Chains A and B, each alone.
Chain A
Amino acid sequence: DAKTTQPNSMESNEEEPVHLPCNHSTISGTDYIHWYRQLPSQGPEYVIHGLTSNVNNRMASLAIAEDRKSSTLILHRATLRDAAVYYCILRDENSGGSNYKLTFGKGTLLTVNP
């Protein structure tokens, strides 16, 4: 899987928007961008994924740069419950063979201040 780069940590205030960046300059044309988050003492949970177009769901929005070399996960109004480690992962969903694992990096630790 192609490599991603994320800041180690970010801080936000409750009820303010949060923009979590991810750089993936070596992304290939068939790599999907996935975001997962891991709350304290829990397993990771899926947040959102996309390929080229921006995506919205009930949890967040994903803004993908036109050249796809970077993306931003947007939490529109941060809550205390959003404090977690956020992982940006690339996966070639069209790959055959055995390359089906999700490779997690270190992620971004998001702290939300009340």
Chain B
Amino acid sequence: GAGVSQSPSNKVTEKGKDVELRCDPISGHTALYWYRQSLGQGLEFLIYFQGNSAPDKSGLPSDRFSAERTGGSVSTLTIQRTQQEDSAVYLCASRERLVNTEAFFGQGTRLTVV
């Protein structure tokens, strides 16, 4: 079956512009996570959703970052007024449930802010 799908796979944007990153989780997965990975670094947690609610958004770096999830399915991560330090690979993952299930990751969106 289809895995976690992220789009676009690559995005180059000018500093100061807004970007939207999309994540399509595996059908039926209630939990959805966003992570960020800068070049050569580990994964940095941003936010997770249970259904359409975001109980933990503690990892969002600033108020320029926001995320929403609709219909318990697709999620979008929005970065406003992008800065060069926002350049990274943004990864989405989904889990069937919040506990005792494996997380499936997408291939990520590589964001480059020039």
Contact = CB atoms under 8 A, between A and B. Distances in A.
Interface stretch (A9-17, A39-47, A60-68): A39-47
A100 B93 contact: no
Nearest to A94: B99
Interface string B15-42: 0000000000000000101010000001
Interface residues of A, number: 22
A98 B31 CA distance: 12
Contact of A43 (B42, B50, B107): B107
- Main secondary structure, interface of A, reads loop
A103 B42 CA distance: 10
Interface in B49-96: 50, 55-56, 59, 91, 93
A56 B97 CA distance: 22
B102 A49 contact: yes
Contact of B105 (A45, A93, A106): A45
Interface in A60-85: none
A100 B50 contact: yes
Which 4 interchain pairs have the tightest Cβ spacing?
Answer: A43-B105, A46-B102, A104-B43, A98-B56
